[in-house]
Amino acid sequence: MKILLFANTDWYLYNFRLPLARAIREQGDEVVLVSPLGKYSSRLEQAGFRWIEFPLERRRLNPFAEAITVLRLIRLYRLERPDLVHHFTLKCVMYGSIAARLAGIKSVVNAFAGLGHIFSDGGFQAKMLRSIVSPISKLALRRTRVIFQNPDDHRVFLERQLVSEDESHLILGSGVDVEKFNPSIRRPLNRERRVLLASRLLWAKGVAEYVEAARVVRESIPGAHFLIAGETDLGNPAAVSHSVLEEWKAQHNVEILGHKEDMRELLGEVDVVALPSFYGEGVPRILIEAAATGLPLVATDMPGCREIVRHGVNGFLVRPRDAEPLASAIKKLLLDDELRREMGKRSRELACSEFSENQVLSRTLQVYQKCVLTSQVRRSKTRHWRGIFDVSHSASARRSTK
């Protein structure tokens, strides 16, 4: 088969779906990767995959321009004629599903890596977009296979009747390579304790709450180091501005590292990983990687986060949008070496048992198989009823001539 993977950034394909592309190729199928141009496009090609540039404006709301985008996607699908398409992120899911239907592609898989700011933001613009997106999603998702990363998102779509139980699937996260990320990479250094937040720098990721928690914790533990790894995402309306980042640097309570290419190395140098997100997460990759590395976690009690953080077992879940309980949980871990070790051990066990990359890839490929088989059955039924209609029509025509 030819399988096409379509995402809104080449960064997403490279960092989250490259193992899937390799698994597809290893089973003998052709893989085509589609995304806007970015600095990871050449890396996808260097990995041996055919990559096609498809410009996609993430923040645009012009209906005419968006319609042109769908028409261009239909043309691409008709040109490539894939046997199955797999769409990632909301815009790709909606546009890709509509384009696939109009291009005659029967096997369509859609994946929601969280519901994003449209479904999680309480602002006027987000509410307006939800009122538009929901009916379009219901149309777009019809007769497709839909993958959710956490049960809360799955339940939202079921309750709104945007998907059916039979054609939707729950696969926890995008998986982690538990051989690459393991406790042995952690280096015992004679240093003060380090806490890490690694994420796109969006307000909804709880970055401001983390900075405030750092200030509170350092009042009683002056030697604690708080690190922030990641870049601001100017394609997202909730991005933290560069001027705010400069203000935080000047306060000296957090160290802003920028984008870090080797997350494995960074996780080997920290003691606690925190993610105080109130964003519409799927299952955050950083928490899964940190768990596989054997680190204790602190996160907000939000969909996706609570799938990998078990309160009191491998970390703490805290109230979202509130720096005080976040600071309290971090401080508790920093002051108790044995608690960190025990929770880190539980994190590793959980990552291996429920979030390993092999499990996720196997289940995703099974969804592909179900999707293709369902499409074949539908085509067979269509041919069957067409045959009955043709026979009936022919008999009726013969009677009329007599």
Q: Backbone dihedral region of 173: left (phi > 0), alpha (psi from -120 to 50 degrees) or beta?
A: left
**Domains of the chain: residue spans and CATH:** 2-175+357-388 (3.40.50.2000), 184-343 (3.40.50.2000)
pLDDT tens, the chain, 402 aa long: 999 999 999 999 999 999 999 999 999 999 999 999 999 999 999 999 999 999 998 666 677 888 999 999 999 999 999 999 999 988 899 999 999 999 999 999 999 987 766 665 666 666 676 666 677 778 889 889 999 999 999 998 999 888 999 999 999 999 999 999 999 988 776 578 999 999 999 999 999 999 999 999 999 999 999 999 999 877 677 899 999 999 999 999 999 999 998 999 999 999 999 999 998 889 999 999 999 999 999 999 999 999 999 999 999 999 999 999 999 999 999 999 999 999 999 999 999 999 999 999 999 999 999 999 988 876 665 554 555 556 555 555 555 555
DSSP state, residue 356: B
Q: Give the separation between CA 253 and CA 290, rounded to whole angstroms.
A: 22
Of the candidates 61, 69, 70, 206, which has an alpha carbon nearest to the alpha carbon of residue 125?
61
Report yes or no: 248 and 212 within 8 Å, Cβ to Cβ: no
Q: Give the separation between CA 314 and CA 400, rounded to whole angstroms.
A: 78
pTM recorded for the entire structure: 0.87
Q: Give the separation between CA 130 and CA 138, rounded to whole angstroms.
A: 12
Question: How many beta carbons lie within 10 A of that of residue 357, not counting itself?
Answer: 21
Q: What type of residue is 32?
A: V
Could you tell me which residues come within 8 angstroms of residue 191 by beta carbon, excluding any fewer than 6 positions away?
Answer: none
287 by Cβ neighbours in 10 Å (0-12 / 13-18 / 19+) ranks as buried
For tokens 């299952």, what's the residue?
283
